[in-house]
Structure 1
Amino acid sequence: MAKKSPSVHRTALLAGTAALLGLLTACGSGGGSGTASSPTTLPGTAAPATDGGTSAPATATDSATQSTGPSGEAASAKPSKTATSAAAAASGRCHTSELRASVGRNDPGAGQENFPIVLTNASSRTCTVRGFPGAAFVDASGKQLGPDPKRQSGSTPTTVTLAPGRSAWAGLTFSNPEVSGAHPATPAALLVTPPDERASLKVTWTGGQVPVSGNSSSVFLTVFSPGSGA
């Protein structure tokens, strides 16, 4: 049998070694026992998926949140709440203990007496009032004089945001007893209850006589508006 030359023998040996290395590499890459590759870091911040599925990478911004729709296209950006509405939502309503009540100066006209009921935020936080106050005239012993005031029809409530020290006012109006002929009384105080509260604030009444019974004895209230009503 013919002998192979040394060069041919070395070439065959190298080829066999390369084939063996290739086989070992292929086996190592197909199983789960090999060394795990490093995790891939995707750019941006992961935003919650709108359909409850896997989060898709997206860049978060202060004014909008972007998500990926079923078609793979970016959904339209949804604007966030404005700073004003967000602050109002976070503040919550004003509680009686955080407020100071007063009655402003009368602004009479055409036989009507018109007083502003003023609530001032005496707390260190921003809060809100919305709607009608509660009110009742009382004598020196605390007994109520006349029926409960009525709410003025056509008044549309709005949310009034009160920073510390700021005020809101609601109108209290009635016909002058001398003009209407109603039976009058002179209250010692006016009890004022903020919207959605149960506790009242007591204000000394200096506005003179009020109608408590008989003809045109009704007292009316309006919703709160910003300011002091002056």
Structure 2
Amino acid sequence: MTHASPSAHPSPAGHRALLLAGGLVALSLLTGCGGADGTTSGRPQPGTAAPPAQAPRQPGAGTSAADPAASGPPSDASASTSPEAAPGTRCHTWELRASVGRNNPGAGQRNFPVVLTNASSRVCTLYGHPGAAFLDAAGEQLGPDPRRVPDSPVTVRLAPGESAWAGLSYASPEISGARTAAPAALLVTPPDERDPLTVRWTGEEVPVSGGESEVSVTVFQPGTGA
């Protein structure tokens, strides 16, 4: 009887079987290998991705202006307030009319209500300070941007035809001694908007430079400020 030599080569079929078995062993070693923290190496773990970034709320647009306008809003009690605005309900410039109420002087101050009225057919909201700027007849700004009076704004809900107002104040020029100029118009920008509403200014001259020339604006609240 003839014995096979130990150095004899396996058959091609046997060689393929050995290769397949070796590959299965290597695969089982790779998939079972864990990281130092107990996670499987090479696999992303749930919960490790950064949460989606949330867009910061824009502050009330007190540095821009708003859309064109006239005025004449209804009663103060009609509008309502709530702590936060519902998403997507902000009043846009083109939905509003702007006006300026009568001066209500006091303690050496000139105080005017700046009124925005909802001229659209939907309910919308205002939240924060208006933008404001006095313009001369050539359309150039008179004086610096008004200062925003620090306050805690509330969301003012405006049904069609309802109004909200913000106070615009400055020291009486005859008392402060500030240099004055006669504006042709006041630009008013609703919060978070960029396009201005233009209101013809029919009042007196306003301070534009010098001591106590600062103009200030307050946050919006329901009504006309009358």
Q: TM-score, normalised by structure 2?
A: 0.62
Name which structure has the greater RCO, CA cutoff 8 Å, separation 6+.
2
Q: Residues 53-72 of structure 1: matches in 2 within 5 Å? A: none
Give unmatched runs, 5+ long, in structure 2: 1-80
Amino acid at match of 2:96: L
The answer to whether residue 167 in structure 2 is matched with residue 168 in structure 1 is no
**One of 144, 148, 162 as aligned partner of 1:147:** 144
Partner Cα separation in structure 1 for residue 127 and residue 107 of structure 2: 29
Per-residue Cα deviation, 1:63-118 (whole angstroms, up to 9, x for no partner): xxxxxxxxxxxxxxxxxxxxx97xx6266100000000000010001210000000
Where has structure 1 moved over 6 Å in runs of 4 or more?
none
- CA deviation profile, 1:121-167 (whole Å, cap 9, x unmatched): 000000000000000000011000000000113x1110000000000
More helix by proportion, 1 or 2? Answer: 1
One-letter amino acid of the structure 2 residue matched with residue 95 of structure 1: H
DSSP-derived class of the 2:174 partner? helix
Structure ID, larger Rg? 1
SS in structure 1 at match of 2:170: strand
Is 1:201 the counterpart of 2:197? The answer is: yes
Contact in 2 for aligned 1:146/1:212 (Cα 8 Å):
yes
Q: Does 1:112 align with 2:109?
A: yes
Partner of 1:101: 98
Pairwise CA RMSD: 1.6
Mapped contact 1:186–1:208 kept (Cα < 8 A): yes
Q: Assess, with a 3 A threshold, how the Cα gap between structure 1 residues 90 and 147 changes in structure 2: closer, same or farther.
A: closer
Aligned residue type for 1:204: R
- One of 170, 178, 187 as aligned partner of 2:183: 187
Deviation sequence 1:38-84 (CA, Å, 0-9, x none): xxxxxxxxxxxxxxxxxxxxxxxxxxxxxxxxxxxxxxxxxxxxxx9
Question: How many matched pairs?
Answer: 145
Gap regions ≥5 residues in structure 1: 1-83
**What per-residue deviation string (whole Å, max 9, x for no partner) do you get for residues 152-204 of structure 1?**
13x11100000000000000000011110000011000000000000000000
Q: What SS does the aligned partner of 2:167 have? A: strand
Amino acid across the alignment from 1:131: G
Candidates 118, 121, 124, aligned match of 1:124? 121
Q: Matches of 1:97 and 1:140 in 2, distance apart? A: 24
**Matched residue, 1:50:** none
TM-score between both structures, scaled by the size of structure 1: 0.61
For 2:218, the equivalent position in structure 1 comes to 222
**Whole-Å separation in 1 of the counterparts to 2:141 and 2:101:** 21
In 2, the alpha carbon distance for the partners of 1:177 and 1:207 equals: 13
- Alpha-carbon distance in 2 for matches of 1:149, 1:90: 28
Q: Which residue of 1 aligns with 2:54?
A: none
For 1:142, the aligned partner's letter is G
Q: Distance in 1 between matches of 2:190 and 2:171?
A: 24
Pairing 1:70-85 to 2, within 5 Å after superposition: none
Alignment match, 2:130: 133
